[in-house]
Amino acid sequence: MGLLTSPEFGSLNDLFVQQLEDLYDAENRLIDALPKMADAATCPDLKSAFSEHLQQTRTHARRLEQVFNRIGCEPKRETCPAMKGLIAEGEEMISAKGDDMVRDAGLIAAAQRVEHYEMAGYGTVRTFARQLNLDDVAQILQQTLNEEGETDKKLTRLAEQGINQQAKTHA
């Protein structure tokens, strides 16, 4: 949503489409950001996790295109200020100086903020799809929601099973 314009929602469907457009923008911004995060990570497992999530994020964007097609809309991006801000936080970690393991822990923190934002967004549009009796669309959105949750759990495991401990010992 633009800062100088107010959206107008005449129906839940209007809000649903706007939220899909926001997520579509968020996913496309993340496609641009994840390679930078992978390059900045020093832990091989974290680099791999970011690279794997890049492939998954490309799939998420394609799924949103599929959803747009199923509801008879052209895929369109509505600027997502929240994702812009979350990516800016990630870029701070990418350019941070200091201990590599501490920066890797910071990259995980930034990535998990992104995952939690996406989970909130996908949970919302999935629920809207159910309310609009778009059960096939709700299933597609649930699949992405599940994958975002798995990515979050994977990042938690990486943090708890090594990176945070290594960052702590370097303090």
- Nearest CA-CA partner of 93 in 40, 30, 19: 40
- Nearest CA-CA partner of 102 in 43, 37, 161: 43
pLDDT tens digits, residue range 6-31?
678 889 999 999 999 999 999 999 99
Q: How many CA atoms lie within 13 A of 121 on its CB side?
A: 24
CATH node for 12-169? 1.20.1260.10
Residue corresponding to tokens 């975002």: 148
Q: Which pTM value belongs to this model? A: 0.91
Tell me the C-alpha distance between 119 and 124, whole Å. 8
Domain ranges for the chain, please list them. Answer: 12-169
pLDDT (0 to 100) of residue 68: 97
User: What three-state secondary structure class fits 99?
Assistant: coil
Query: Within a 10 A sphere around the Cβ of 146, how many other Cβ atoms?
Result: 12
How close are the terminal C-alpha atoms of the chain, in Å?
42
The mean pLDDT value of the chain amounts to 92
pLDDT tens digits, residue range 70-112?
999 999 999 999 999 999 999 999 998 888 889 999 999 999 9
Tell me the C-alpha distance between 85 and 81, whole Å. 6
Identify whether the C-beta of residue 60 lies closer than 8 Å to the C-beta of residue 70.
no
pLDDT (0 to 100) of residue 22: 96
